[in-house]
Amino acid sequence: MKRVFTALAFALILLYPAVVYWGLTRFQPRVLALLLLGLFVLRLVSFSSLRGKELVSFLPTFAAIALVSIGVMWSNHKTWLLFYPVLLNIVLLGSFAWTLWRGPSMIERFARLQEPDLDLEGQRYCYRVTIVWCVFFVFNAATAAWLTLYSTVAVWTLYNGLISYLLIGSLLGGEWLYRKFFLLSDRELQGAGHHVENQSLQVEGQERQVESLNAALTKGKTEHSNSELGSTVV
């Protein structure tokens, strides 16, 4: 049952802009506040098993939903409904930025779910990717805020219900392509370079051993010749 509530909450978040656009043409904003309250309840049920730090990490999301719901119920103005994507991006920005200061970074936490023994180079890469996501959340929040204040509900819906998702998908896909075809290739080349370097060092070491052995043999022959010459003189 918890999975059903989680799926419903996720679907409601994705469809929120379209539902708001549809609802504002038929109901007062105060009625649509029930949508947010329903989302709030679904999120609470979905995370009812969380404890301690895990629960605290989701409190900003709960606070954003509650703030928008209270604002709509109090003012009956659509602006509060339209500000939810802005607050959501601010919450995500805060969550990602916090992990840059108090590591590990958010992307590293995701990466360790598949690769627990992440090396130092991988940790640095995840840190940089987390910064990229922070920049995206700033851009997305600013764009959503501008559309909320200065554009129409239709344009707001188009951006928050479609364009922003395409941007997120492009960022995810672009990062995957870079990691798959460029980053891994560079690391393979570096690995091959280290292998060649190690082989060269081994060859140099063997050459030094041969030179040392030849020098020892030459020295031995010289001492033996001097010894025979001394014996002959005597």
Residue 78 CB contacts under 8 Å (≥ 6 apart), including other chains: 24, 29, 153
CA-to-CA distance for 173 and 167, rounded, in angstroms? Answer: 10
CA-to-CA distance for 114 and 92, rounded, in angstroms? Answer: 22
93: nearest Cα among 17, 48, 144, 162 = 144
CA-to-CA distance for 209 and 171, rounded, in angstroms? Answer: 54
Quick one: pLDDT at residue 217?
Answer: 58
Which amino acid makes up residue 69?
S
> Is 13 within 8 Å of 39 (Cβ atoms)?
yes
* Threshold 0.85, pTM exceeds: no
Mean pLDDT in runs of 10 for the chain (234 residues)? 70 84 88 75 64 60 77 86 91 92 89 87 92 97 96 95 95 90 61 48 60 61 51 47
Structure tokens at 213: 């052995």
Own/partner long-range contacts of 195-204 (Cβ < 8 Å, ≥24 apart): none
Residue 198 CB contacts under 8 Å (≥ 6 apart), including other chains: none
> Is 24 within 8 Å of 32 (Cβ atoms)?
yes
Ordered alpha helix ranges (H), 151-183: 153-158, 164-177
**Per-residue CA distances from 223 to 209, 218, 219, 230, 233 (Å):** 21, 9, 6, 10, 15
Quick one: pLDDT at residue 64?
Answer: 76
Which amino acid makes up residue 47?
F
**Burial degree of 118 (CB within 10 A; 0-12, 13-18, 19+):** middle
Quick one: pLDDT at residue 193?
Answer: 45
Quick one: pLDDT at residue 192?
Answer: 41
Quick one: pLDDT at residue 173?
Answer: 94
CA-to-CA distance for 105 and 187, rounded, in angstroms? Answer: 21
